[in-house]
Amino acid sequence: MRAMSAQSPPPKDPSVPRLHLGQVWGYLWPYLWEFRGRVLLALLALLAAKGATLAMPWALKHIIDGVDRNLQPELVLPIAFLLLYGFFRFGGVFFGELRDALFSRVTERAMRRIGLRVFEHLHQLELNFHLSRQTGGISRDIERGTSGINFLMRFMMFNIVPTLFEILMVAVIFTLAFSVWYALIILVAVLIYVGFTVVVTEWRTRFVRAANLADSSTNTRAVDSLLNYETVKYFNNEAYEAKTYDTFLADWENAKLKNRLTLLALNSGQALIIALAMTAMMVMAAQAVIDRTMTLGDLAMINAYLIQLFIPLNFLGFVYREIRRALTDLENMLGLLSREPQIRNAPEAKPLQVTEGRIEFDSVHFGYHAERPILQDLTFAIEPGQRVALVGASGAGKSTIARLLYRFYDLDHGEIRIDGQNIRNVTLDSLRRAIAVVPQDTVLFNASIRENIAYGRPSASDDDIERAIDMAHLRRFIDALPQGDKTLVGERGLKVSGGEKQRIAIARVLLKGAPILLFDEATSALDSKAEAAILTAMRAVSVGHTSLVIAHRLSTVVDADRILVLHQGRLVEQGSHPELLRLGGRYAQLWHLQQSASNKAADDPAG
């Protein structure tokens, strides 16, 4: 459980780049270009909607003037303008909806493609990244990032430029129909509004980032605690977990409060600018009506245009704020994309050709950190078809060897070869297809037993899956379940026992059909009965394959063709079980210690 290290949110990753609109446009342009026909039709629908919206106040003016007795002593219902007004009202809504319908495919495809791109990239990143990642925070970053893409694509295309165009057109109409002073007030108000919005929004962006960070940290803490549900129960730490989670929620609450207060300042300032401009123009218009230089229809048209203008202008302020928020949301997600994988194919990498399955470690040096070497000058070979065991005390480097063979990490020095081919010079895909792994702790997907077995080769036939079930000695277990192999195993496989999980893992390995098998302490967490069943399955699976067995309990590898004994990252002994016992060295010491412990446990049932 990682609760002890989770008292405060993680600091902002300095490697995550700050984004600007130009960079985002570069990301989004390929998706717009892919559907350029739809984008063009959506823009035409946008122009039609804006044209209808701009024409409505003009039609309204003529309706009001048509029923004003001061202008028309004999009243005649202005049917044409009433019909036009209704048409423009409907057209503004219809063409706006048509625009959204046309463009929705573009935004949804972009969200799909970028979401898939991030997902694939996360799987390309090295093991070290995934060992230190915070799953809850990453999932929330991706969720907010894809939503940010949706927002940016819609509002950059259909709100900012059209609103500026509408402001310009209203200013032109006011200048031509009434007075240049109306246009000047509009332009000055817009400039002040935009300047105020930009300055205040930039100021409050840091509070938005702080709220996002608190949100991600809170989600990470919740996921971490729930994933470690059993550990929480083992130590009666429900209250501690609740207190820790509440600490994160308090940080989130404070960050959101600051965010809301800064939003209050921004909204209030914007509303004041709009109110002053509208009041000034309405005073001018009302005075002109009193002076009989304008009609009531003119006053109504001016009022309609002001409402029509300042509502989208107010919305423009919202859009700018949301663009800044969306850019902030995108930073972490696109920051993931900018992270280069540390383990990748060499420029001239070729597919691995496994002809026999011979494995060689040649003068291998490796350490997770430069100041702490794990493996030192390690040299050994596994002949084709051999079953070789790696043993040694904890920390000797056994599991590290497995990770290096699978190329989760690259060596500091030396070579690992399979059939004479340096694994750094072959493609990662071909290398990993050639090796099947049964790990110490098998984690299953929250799916059925059959689906988890089929994961070893998703294209496998039903007969292949049934054969794997039989070879892994799973048949009796599956037949005893009410739902058989359709039984769900639960998240991370928590609904099945350790032995059952390992048998499922072995069945999955069998289905993969790789020539090289790797058993990484596959029985270390099992009882004697389950261990015996798994060992039987492992021996059956290993026939005809090159197998590397990493073991802590020496009794599980006494029948190995050869046993390699590691001590502090060095190979100190090798040979068969009888040979190593006769040698009387480190292996013999470990054997006698484990035998003594087993005998003591057998003599003391209460223990």
H or E stretch including 416? strand 413-418
CATH of the domain spanning 3-13+20-338, picked from 3.30.390.30, 3.40.50.300, 3.90.320.10, 1.20.1560.10: 1.20.1560.10
Q: Sorting pLDDT into bands at 50, 70 and 90, what band is 9?
A: very low
H or E stretch including 422? strand 421-422
Which ranges of 291-419 does DSSP label H, i.e. alpha helix? Answer: 296-338, 398-405
- Residue 423, SS3 per DSSP: helix
Mean pLDDT of 171-199: 83
Kindly report which listed range (45-49, 54-58, 385-389, 581-585) carries the lowest average pLDDT score. Answer: 54-58
The tokens describing 353, both together, are 């050709």
Which ranges of 67-78 does DSSP label H, i.e. alpha helix? Answer: none
H or E stretch including 595? helix 586-603
**Nearest alpha carbon to residue 462 among 451, 473, 474:** 451
Dihedral angle sign, alpha carbons of residues 331, 334, 336, 339: negative
- Alpha-carbon separation of residue 145 from 121, 315, 326 (angstroms): 15, 22, 7
Class of domain 349-434+514-607: alpha beta
User: Residue 595: its pLDDT value, please?
Assistant: 83
Residue pLDDT, tens place only, 526-570: 556 666 666 676 676 677 788 898 888 888 888 889 999 998 889
Distance of CA 335 to the CA centre of its chain: 11
Distance of CA 560 to the CA centre of its chain: 43
* Cβ neighbourhood burial of 245 (10 Å; 0-12, 13-18, 19+): middle
Q: Sorting pLDDT into bands at 50, 70 and 90, what band is 353?
A: very high
CB 9 within 8 A of CB 248: yes
- Alpha-carbon separation of residue 542 from 506, 509, 539, 578 (angstroms): 11, 11, 5, 21
Query: Is it the case that residue 11 has pLDDT exceeding 50?
Result: no
Q: Sorting pLDDT into bands at 50, 70 and 90, what band is 137?
A: low
- The residue written with tokens 């790789």 in the block is 514
Rounded to whole angstroms, the Cα distance separating 168 from 50 reads 12
User: Residue 108: its pLDDT value, please?
Assistant: 78
User: Residue 606: its pLDDT value, please?
Assistant: 46
Q: Sorting pLDDT into bands at 50, 70 and 90, what band is 404?
A: very high
User: Residue 430: its pLDDT value, please?
Assistant: 92
Mean pLDDT of 502-522: 84
DSSP string, 86-141: HHHHHHHHHHHHHHHHHHHHHHHHHHHHHHHHHHHHHHHS-HHHHHH--HHHHHHH
Instruction: Provide the residue ranges of all domains of the chain, joining segments of one domain with +.
Output: 3-13+20-338, 349-434+514-607, 443-506
Mean pLDDT of 580-606: 77
Residue pLDDT, tens place only, 277-318: 888 888 888 888 788 877 777 777 777 777 777 776 666 667
Kindly report which listed range (6-20, 101-115, 160-174, 561-575) carries the lowest average pLDDT score. Answer: 6-20
Residue type, 310: F
Q: What percent of the chain has pLDDT over 90?
A: 12
Query: Is it the case that residue 423 has pLDDT exceeding 90?
Result: yes
DSSP string, 532-560: HHHHHHHHHHHTTSEEEEE-SSGGGGTT-
Mean pLDDT over each residue of the chain, to the nearest integer? 79
H or E stretch including 379? strand 375-382
The tokens describing 418, both together, are 């399979």
Q: How many Cβ atoms are within 10 Å of 385's Cβ, its own excluded?
A: 16
464-475 residues labelled b (16+ CB within 10 A) or e (exposed):
bbeebbebbbbe
User: Residue 10: its pLDDT value, please?
Assistant: 39
Query: Is it the case that residue 523 has pLDDT exceeding 70?
Result: no
Q: How many Cβ atoms are within 10 Å of 279's Cβ, its own excluded?
A: 10
Q: Sorting pLDDT into bands at 50, 70 and 90, what band is 158?
A: low
Rounded to whole angstroms, the Cα distance separating 333 from 331 reads 6
- The residue written with tokens 């004697």 in the block is 528
Q: What percent of the chain has pLDDT over 70?
A: 83
| Most confidently predicted of 20-34, 347-361, 528-542 | 347-361
Give me the phi and psi of 258, to 5 degrees please.
-60, -40
Distance of CA 66 to the CA centre of its chain: 61
Q: How many Cβ atoms are within 10 Å of 68's Cβ, its own excluded?
A: 14
User: Residue 527: its pLDDT value, please?
Assistant: 57
User: Residue 422: its pLDDT value, please?
Assistant: 94
- The residue written with tokens 């209808």 in the block is 52
User: Residue 113: its pLDDT value, please?
Assistant: 81
The tokens describing 372, both together, are 């702490």
Tell me, what DSSP letter sits at residue 574? E
Residue pLDDT, tens place only, 436-474: 888 877 778 888 889 888 988 888 899 999 988 888 888
